[in-house]
């Protein structure tokens, strides 16, 4: 079944660019028919733009916007770093009356675009991250002990699947939204800043973390995490975020997001080591359950 959804000009632009992946609505009769994987057409009558073809990736339902705002990553819901601090569930009152909100509940419709903008660049970047963090053999290259790959070898190695020029590679490194990669000083070598599953030492100095850090994950892992603590699974480290919004954005990659607070200050005093990657991700080897608390 095919649905169509009207978006304001601003929402349309943010959805098209990939910055916004979750559209907020009342959970009324219309939205309740939606199911995961349904095809949905996003139209913008104001601008007379091409409709965007999408599928429903997930439906995040809440009794009210206060709960939705607390749970979902607002940076994926139409807010940006500039207006995030001022974001409030009351922003929705201009669209839906209090009465309607209480009557129907609300829903975050998570979308996956069929033809995302910048798709070729994004796919090249994802391949790079796979090669530089997990499987260099896919490009027929090896990484040195510190995770570096020669730029020439890398470009040659990925050429068949992703023919990139040096300039295009530099553009990916410069514009990556999470600053995942670094060059050495003369740009002859490149590596991923963090996120590896293969044992490389990216030369991070241990440092003192803030008193509290955050870990975003999927609800489905909650029970196991509360029993065993946070473990690195396939990566070298457990990844922790400096703020709740980033943690929620990490968590939604695993389904319904939940966030744990980590008593990192206490862990540090108890002798656990912490590292901060060049791109601002906090890393540690494991977090025992005693230092974890699920945020409500």
The contact set with ligand HQG (CB under 6 A) reads 178, 180, 195, 217-218, 221, 224-225, 228, 230-231, 233-235, 239, 250, 253-254, 281
CA distances from 259 to 184, 197, 219, 247, 250 (A): 35, 23, 9, 7, 9
65 vs 291, beta carbon nearer ligand HQG = 291
Smallest distance, ligand HQG to C-beta of residue 44, A: 29
From start to end of 11-156, where are the E strands?
22-26, 39-43, 52-62, 106-113, 149-150
Smallest distance, ligand HQG to C-beta of residue 209, A: 15
Smallest distance, ligand HQG to C-beta of residue 62, A: 21
Contact 262, 215 (CB under 8 A): yes
200 vs 225, beta carbon nearer ligand HQG = 225
Residue 53 and residue 3: Cα distance in Å, rounded?
10
105 vs 251, beta carbon nearer ligand HQG = 251
121 vs 254, beta carbon nearer ligand HQG = 254
217 vs 264, beta carbon nearer ligand HQG = 217
Residue 193 and residue 203: Cα distance in Å, rounded?
10
Smallest distance, ligand HQG to C-beta of residue 230, A: 4
**∠ Cα 244 245 247 (to 5°):** 65
Residue 48 and residue 26: Cα distance in Å, rounded?
24
Smallest distance, ligand HQG to C-beta of residue 242, A: 11
């Amino acid at each position: 079944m095919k649905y169509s959804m009207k978006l304001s000009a601003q929402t349309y632009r943010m959805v098209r660019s990939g910055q916004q992946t979750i559209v907020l609505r009342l959970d009324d009769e219309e939205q309740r028919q939606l199911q995961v994987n349904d095809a949905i057409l996003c139209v913008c009558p104001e601008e007379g733009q091409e409709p965007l073809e999408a599928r429903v990736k997930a439906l995040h339902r809440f009794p009210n916007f206060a709960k939705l705002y607390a749970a979902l990553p607002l940076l994926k819901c139409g807010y940006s770093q500039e207006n995030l601090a001022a974001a409030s569930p009351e922003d929705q009152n201009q669209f839906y009356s209090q009465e309607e909100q209480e009557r129907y509940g609300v829903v975050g419709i998570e979308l996956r675009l069929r033809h995302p903008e910048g798709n070729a660049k994004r796919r090249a970047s994802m391949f790079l991250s796979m090669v530089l963090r997990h499987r260099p053999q896919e490009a027929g290259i090896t990484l040195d002990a510190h995770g570096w790959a020669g730029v020439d070898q890398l470009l040659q190695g990925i050429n068949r699947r992703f023919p990139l020029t040096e300039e295009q590679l530099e553009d990916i490194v410069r514009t990556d939204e999470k600053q995942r990669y670094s060059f050495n000083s003369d740009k002859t070598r490149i590596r991923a800043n963090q996120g590896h599953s293969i044992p490389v030492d990216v030369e991070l100095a241990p440092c003192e973390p803030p008193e509290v850090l955050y870990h975003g994950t999927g609800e489905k892992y909650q029970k196991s995490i509360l029993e065993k603590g946070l473990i690195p699974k396939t990566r070298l480290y457990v990844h922790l975020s400096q703020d709740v919004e980033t943690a929620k954005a990490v968590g939604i990659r695993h389904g319904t997001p939940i966030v744990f607070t980590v008593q990192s200050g206490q862990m540090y005093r108890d002798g656990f080591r912490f590292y901060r990657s060049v791109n601002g991700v906090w890393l540690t080897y494991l977090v025992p359950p005693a230092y974890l608390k699920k945020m409500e």
